[in-house]
Chain A
Amino acid sequence: GAVVSQHPSRVICKSGTSVKIECRSLDFQATTMFWYRQFPKQSLMLMATSNEGSKATYEQGVEKDKFLINHASLTLSTLTVTSAHPEDSSFYICSALTGARVETQYFGPGTRLLVL
């Protein structure tokens, strides 16, 4: 199946700093990528939909100025957590669509963010 990578897999940062997470589709082009957030023992919550060459669409309740998303190419989307705080500590996971069907959504392995 299609491969999606995320970097870094784990990051620890100080409160107030910004953290960038990369999501790459390695063997296909993805016009649409999604960013999710997962708290322990909870669902993957969709944060935003990232479309190549256009502004991301954020879900209700997600601060677009805090979670900056850039989808500059067909194989790369980035999520920047700006001025991170301890409550931003979470598991962030991206996915990329390879086709029109919802089953063609391939997920990255996730990034564990810990803000001290």
Chain B
Amino acid sequence: DQQVKQNSPSLSVQEGRISILNCDYTNSMFDYFLWYKKYPAEGPTFLISISSIKDKNEDGRFTVFLNKSAKHLSLHIVPSQPGDSAVYFCAARDMKTSYDKVIFGPGTSLSVIP
């Protein structure tokens, strides 16, 4: 059973507009959440993270929102740029189980149209 879900396999957004990527999780013990970005033929790279004690974390054009009661998080990219076109993975960690292991969602492929 998938503990981290990304129900939209793909998303297309116009350049300059906001991209919103969604992620849902089932394990209430998750205490840390991460977003990774992956270009073709490359490994995922860390983008932004958020602790379960926060509801928002911002880094430049990227903001992650966490709604613990809904077990939902989202990544906002604004303004979106063509270089943001990639696969975005949501990931989560349960610190009580393991400090350094994360569980990944299936990814959402974002296309930013110039």
Pair A46/B101 contact, Cβ less than 8 Å: yes
Report which of A1, A105, A109 forms a contact with B102, defined as CB distance below 8 A: A105
Given the interface contacts A43-B4, A43-B107, does A102 sit within 8 Å of B43 by beta carbon? no
* A109 lies within 8 A of B89 (CB): no
**Distance of B28 from chain A, by nearest CB (Å):** 19
How big is the B interface, by class? 20 to 34
Stretch from B44-52, B62-70, B74-82 that touches the partner: B44-52
Q: Is the interface of B mostly helix, strand, loop or mixed?
A: loop
What is the CA–CA distance of A27 and B110 in the complex, to the nearest angstrom?
A: 31
Q: Smallest Cβ distance from B19 to chain A, in angstroms?
A: 20
Assess the B106–A41 pair: CB atoms within 8 A. yes
Interface residues of A in 61-116 (CB under 8 A from B): 93, 95, 97, 100, 102-103, 105-110
Kindly state whether residue A50 has any CB partner on chain B within 8 Å: no
A41 to B103, CA, bound (A): 15
Q: Are A42 and B106 in contact (CB under 8 A)?
A: yes
Answer whether A34 and B42 are a contact pair too, CB < 8 Å, given A41-B9, A102-B34, A103-B49.
no
User: Which residues does chain A contribute within 8 Å of B53, judged by CB atoms?
Assistant: none
- Return chain A residues, CB-CB under 8 Å to B7: none
A25 within 8 A of B: no
Which residues of A3-56 have CB atoms within 8 Å of chain B's CB atoms? 4, 9, 32, 34, 36, 41-46, 49
Tell me the nearest residue of chain B to A107, going by C-beta: B43
Please report the C-alpha to C-alpha distance between residue A110 and residue B38 in the assembled complex, in whole angstroms.
11
CA distance A44 to B41 in the complex (A): 15
Contact of A108 among B32, B43, B46, B49 (CB under 8 A): B43
Q: List 7 A-B contacts (CB under 8 A).
A: A43-B4, A43-B104, A43-B105, A103-B49, A107-B36, A109-B43, A110-B43
